């Protein structure tokens, strides 16, 4: 799939192994419809969605990058709006919404703060196995960060709303620093690749 160019020359793409999954053909960006009072405020960076299939099971990935800023309160409306919009999509009957998963950089600072609570307020569930996983290549101080997440919807009792997909309890990150551009500084690598580690989660179907 072709990468999408974002503000600030950011690029976003879905990479996948065609021996393992197939693209269904459903792909697009989330643009909010106008409200009664006029045009709706859009997400800072338009979320990008693509659907894939494996063994007759469809799943849809929606990735987002919440606008960063020194004032966490400015991030709260966007995180809240995204969680609410995705839940409304998940609840609509037969609307290309089977097995919605969200992923990306939500710029969450820590568990139990207002940003994290807004993220999980509509039932999004990030696996606890990712709680202690490093998020940034500059996080050498040992502190935990929660910027990036992978999550899906669950009932209040914890029952997953995924259909024919089961989270295996395995998730983590990939440290690419020892393997790529080893002659460059971390700052230089961050501009070539990313300042964040990739996250992964495993599902059985």
**Residue 160's CATH number:** 3.60.10.10
171, 180 Cβ separation under 8 angstroms: no
Residue 11 or 59, more confident:
59
> 1: closest CA among 200, 10, 18, 43?
18
Could you tell me the maximum CA-CA distance found in the chain, to the nearest angstrom? Answer: 55
Q: Which of 68, 73, 84, 196 is nearest to 136 (CA)?
A: 196
- Rounded CA separation 114/108 (Å): 9
Cβ contacts of residue 84 below 8 Å, gap of 6+?
121, 122
33 confidence band (pLDDT: 50, 70, 90): confident
Q: What's the CA gap between 60 and 86, in Å, rounded? A: 11
Q: What is the arithmetic mean of pLDDT over 185-192?
A: 94
- Structural domain for 116, as ranges: 4-204
Q: What is the per-residue pLDDT across 125-184, written as a single tens digit (0 to 9) for each?
A: 999 999 999 999 987 655 677 889 999 999 888 889 999 999 999 999 999 999 999 999
Regarding predicted confidence, which is higher, 140 or 70?
A: 70
Distance between CA atoms of residues 129 and 171, nearest Å: 6
- Total number of domains constituting the chain: 1
| Predicted pLDDT at 122 | 94
């Amino acid at each position: 799939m072709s990468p999408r160019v974002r503000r600030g020359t950011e690029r976003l793409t879905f990479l996948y192994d065609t021996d393992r999954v197939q693209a269904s053909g459903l792909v697009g960006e989330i643009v909010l419809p106008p409200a009664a009072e006029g045009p709706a405020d859009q997400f800072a960076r338009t979320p990008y969605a693509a659907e894939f299939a494996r063994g007759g099971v469809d799943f849809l990935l929606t990735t987002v990058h919440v606008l960063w800023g020194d004032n966490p309160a400015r991030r709260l409306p966007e995180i809240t709006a995204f969680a609410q919009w995705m839940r409304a999509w998940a609840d609509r009957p037969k609307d290309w919404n089977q097995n919605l998963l969200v992923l990306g950089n939500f710029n969450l600072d820590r568990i139990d703060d207002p940003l994290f609570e807004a993220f999980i307020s509509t039932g999004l569930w990030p696996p606890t196995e990712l709680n202690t996983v490093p998020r940034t290549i500059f996080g050498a101080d040992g502190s935990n960060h929660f910027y990036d997440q992978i999550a899906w919807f669950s009932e209040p009792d914890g029952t997953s709303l995924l259909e024919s997909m089961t989270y295996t309890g395995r998730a983590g990150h990939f440290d690419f620093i020892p393997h790529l551009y080893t002659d460059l500084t971390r700052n230089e690598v961050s501009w070539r690749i990313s300042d964040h580690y990739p996250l992964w989660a495993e599902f059985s179907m």
